[in-house]
Structure formats: structure tokens, C-alpha cells
Amino acid sequence: MQESCINHQMAGFSLYCLRNCFLVFPLLVHFCQSRLIGPTQPIIATAGKDITLPCHLVPGENVAAMTLEWTRPELDPRFVFLWRAGQDLINMKNPSYIGRSSLFTDELKHGNTSLKLCKVKPADEGRYRCYIPDKDEEAFIHLVVASGAVSSPVISLANLDKAISGVVLQCESPGWYPEPELLWLDGEGNLLSAGPTETLRGPDDLYTVSSRVTVEKRHSNNITCRVQQRNTNQSRETHIHVPEDFFDIPSSSPSVTDTSPVSLALCILLLILSVVFLVRRKRKNVMKTNRRPKDQTEDVRVSTEEDREREQLNMKLPITSRQQLQEEQQRREDAENTLGDLQNDKEKLENELQDEKKRNEDQEAKLKELEKKNTEIINQLQQEKETLEELKKQLESKNQELSDSISELNREKMIRESEINTMKNQLESNKQEMMKSEREKDEIITKLRQTILALESKLQEEKQRREKAEKQVQMLPTETEEEKQNKEETEKKVQTLQIKTEKISQINSPSKQKK
């Protein structure tokens, strides 16, 4: 009964254990089972360079004898690399990876299954799966391919914004991958607010970015255009120094900023008109009676004069009109003087206008020249760009040709190898067949020998039997001799008996014998 109690306790314990072990077991499995570890961050490769995609088993163990798979699930065929029975199975590979993917075979014994990719292409970008079927362990590695041949951005003068006396600059940079961002900075490194960045994707999958910014004089005129890629840390920048006289073209003085020759002429005309109007009003006022209040300060002097005139008119009307005439003349002279002054002013203003015009023309000519130079420079740059692009294209096509021929060679090599292998196999099978037939021959010979031996032994037996028989036969006559003797004896006995019987009969019938 004590035992059952213990058992009961044990059952309780094991129940407890079970409950806890179910919690612990996955953990144990988790810790004991080896796991494949890949990088958590994307791997960033530069186009044209080599890259290692890390993947390793933890804890490390020798995986050289296991099957190791590197695949890209999106591809068909999906194998980037396949290792089985200690061999690189090239035939299973996706053709675009032939001759470009390999393992570090010396590292396999430490569980390091990292993949080496040579001459990375933009098309290599994507998700890679590192997988060990024996362990059912996998790791995913994301590969990003950055363009290798980015060039410095090119800044050009796009426009002049006369309204704010600013300069519009354009910045462009081709050949990027992944898509970069474009920034404008002033001389102090502050970000300038610019227009939207335009992004174009070319047939080569590379991005061209461009953007425009309006630079005002208040900005320091050392401007930077920077193109950068956050995740690859690649960046290129170009500085431009905008000469100060670029901003001065529409003249920096704000009072003249808006004056076009037409508006200036209009101003002068208005001035003259207003002066003439004033003079005429003055004269009218002289004619009229003074009805306005005297407190209008601006006309104080005029009104007193008018008063006097009125008094004169009222009181000295009968007196000579010569005085009146003189006064009238005086007034006219005054007006003429003011008119002359005004005309002088007008001439001066006109001269100024002329000067201004000339200056304007000069500046426009300068501007035109600058624009011409700029377009020339832009054209030159464009041409250089084009030639560069052509060179690039040529290089790319040559590269393509080379890789094509390499893959062609590889394919041929594979074909040859497979041919050699089949020949080897045939040889092997032939050899085996020959060996087999020889073995068969040997077997037949031994069988024959055995049969011969058997026959011989049978013969021997037969001989012996015959001999025995012969012996028996020989022995047989001796028996007959005995028999003969016996016979003879018996014959003799019979003869003797006959003789006896004859004698007896002779004796019994002598008559008969006489007859």
C-alpha cells in the first residue's frame, strides 16, 4: 500500500513535470536545435563588385556532407547555388548565376554556408533563401544593389527671376540606383527650399534626378547641390558660386526696381500736367472772388495776394489798366519761369531716363552674353554627357558580350564534362560487363571441371563396380567347379547308382537281357 502511495506521489510529480516540461520542451528544442542565422539588415552591394551573403549555422557543425540550398523564390529555376554530396551542382543553377555563385568550402566544416556572388548586377537584387533541408532550417537575406558609376551632379543656370531679383539654378544627376534624394544647400550648409525633385528611370534601371531652386541675393551665393542615398551612404555634390552681378541685373535699388522707361515717361508727363493744372487753377482763383476760408494754410500766401488783387480790382478799377497789364505780365512771366524750370526738370529727367535706358541696354546685352555663354556651356556639358553615355553603353555592351561568351564557354565546358562523364560511365559499364562475362566463364569452367571430376569419380566407381563384378564373375566359376565336383560327385553317384540299378535290373531280369 505504501508503494501505491509513492506511485501516487510519482504520478503527481510527473504530472507536474509534464505540465512544466511542455513549457520547457520547446525552449530546449529551441536551444538545442542548431539554427541558421542570416543578417537582419539588407546587404548592400555595388554593381560590378563582389559581395558575400552571410548565413551560418549556430551552434556550428560540419555541414560539408549535407545538402545546402541557396535559392531565390521568385526565380525560375530558383537555384542560385546547390551543394549536394560535396559537389556544386552547376546544372541545377539558374543560368544567370553560372560562374558567379560559390560557397566558402573551407568554412563548411564550421557551419558557415555564406554565399559569394561575383560581379553583382542590378537584376541580382531581391530576397535570397539559405536553406539546409536536413535540418529544415532557413534564413532569408535581402540584397540591395547600388549603382556603381554615379557621377557628380551638374548645375546649370536655368532662368533669371526678375520679380524677386533671383537666379533659378537647375541641378541634374544621372546613373543612380536605388533612387537617391537631392538637396540644395547654401554656403552655411542650410537647406534651401527648392521645387520638387523630378525622378526619371532609364531603360538601364538607373534613376536620373533633377531639381530647380531660386536663389536670392540674401542667400550666401555659394550654392551646393547634393545627391545622396541614405541606405548606401553614397553621395555626390557640386558647388556653384553665383557672381553678385547676376543679382544686380534688374538694379538693386528698390525705388527704380519697378521703373520701366514707359512708366518713367508717364510720371514726368503727369508731373507736368499737374503743374500746368495748378497754374491754371491759380489763375482761375485770381479771377474768382475769395470764397474759401482763410485757414487753408497751403494757400495762405496766395489768398492774401488774391485779396490784394481784389481790393485793387474793387478800389483801383478806375485807375490805369496798365498796372493790371503789368501785373498780368508779371504773372505770366512767373508762370513761364516755372514752366522753364519744369522743362529743365523734364530735360534732366529725360537725360536720366536716357542714361537709365543705356544702362539697361548694357545690362541686357551683358545678360544676353551670359545666357549665350551659359547655353554654350550647357551644350558642351550635354555633348560631354552624351559621349560619356555612349562610352558607358559601349562598355556595358562589351561587358554583356564578355559575360555572354563566358557563359557560353561555361555551357560548352559543362557539355564536354557531361560527355566525358557519359563516356566514363560507358567505359565503366563495359569493364563491368567484361568482368562479369569473365566471371561467368570461370564459373562455367569450374562447373565443367566439377562435372568432369564427377564423371571421373563416377567412372572410377563404375570401374570399381565392374572390377568387383568381374571378381564376382571370377569367383562364380569356382563355385561352379565345386558344383561340378558336386555334380560330378552326384553324377558319379548317379552313375554308380545307375550302374547299381543296371546291375540290379540285370540281376532282376537276366531273361530280357538274353532276348
Ligand X SMILES: *[C@@H]1O[C@H](CO)[C@@H](O)[C@H](O)[C@H]1NC(C)=O
Q: Which residues are at the interface with ligand X (CB under 6 A)? A: 44, 52, 54, 56, 104, 107, 112, 114, 187, 222, 224, 232-233, 239, 241
Residue with cell 528544442: 29
Q: Indicate the residue among 63 and 268 with the shorter CB distance to ligand X.
A: 63
Phi and psi, residue 156, nearest 5° = -135, 160
Residues 234, 222: Cα–Cα separation, whole Å: 23
CB of 116 to ligand X, least distance (A): 7
Grid coordinates of 457: 569419380
**Contact indicator for 121, 130 with CB cutoff of 8 Å:** no
Pair 192, 231: CB distance under 8 Å: no
Residue placing its CB nearer to ligand X in the complex, 3 or 106: 106
| Residue whose CB is less far from ligand X, 128 or 306 | 128
DSSP 8-state code for residue 275? H
| Residue 425: half-sphere exposure toward Cβ, Cα within 13 Å | 6
Distance CA 68, CA 132 (A): 5
What's the closest the beta carbon of residue 20 comes to ligand X, in angstroms? 35
Give min distance, CB of 30 to ligand X, in A.
20
Residue 136 backbone zone (phi > 0: left; psi -120 to 50: alpha; other: beta)? left
In the complex with ligand X, the residue whose CB is nearer, 153 or 250, is 153
Q: Nearer Cβ to ligand X, position 104 or 277?
A: 104
Burial, 210: exposed, middle or buried (Cβ in 10 Å; 0-12, 13-18, 19+)? buried
Task: Tell me how crowded residue 48 is: count the other CB atoms within 10 A of its CB.
Answer: 15
CB of 32 to ligand X, least distance (A): 20
Closer by beta carbon to ligand X, 39 or else 477: 39
Shortest distance, position 36 Cβ to ligand X, whole Å: 11
Q: How far is the CB of 75 from ligand X (least distance, A)?
A: 24
Cβ nearer to ligand X, comparing 7 with 222: 222
Q: How far is the CB of 174 from ligand X (least distance, A)?
A: 22
Q: The cell 559569394 sits on which residue?
A: 116
Q: How far is the CB of 374 from ligand X (least distance, A)?
A: 18
3-state secondary structure of 377: helix
Amino acid symbol at 56: H
Edge-first strand listing for the sheet containing 166-176: 154-161, 166-176, 207-216, 198-201
Closest to ligand X by CB, 54 or 77: 54
Which residue is it, cell 541685373?
249
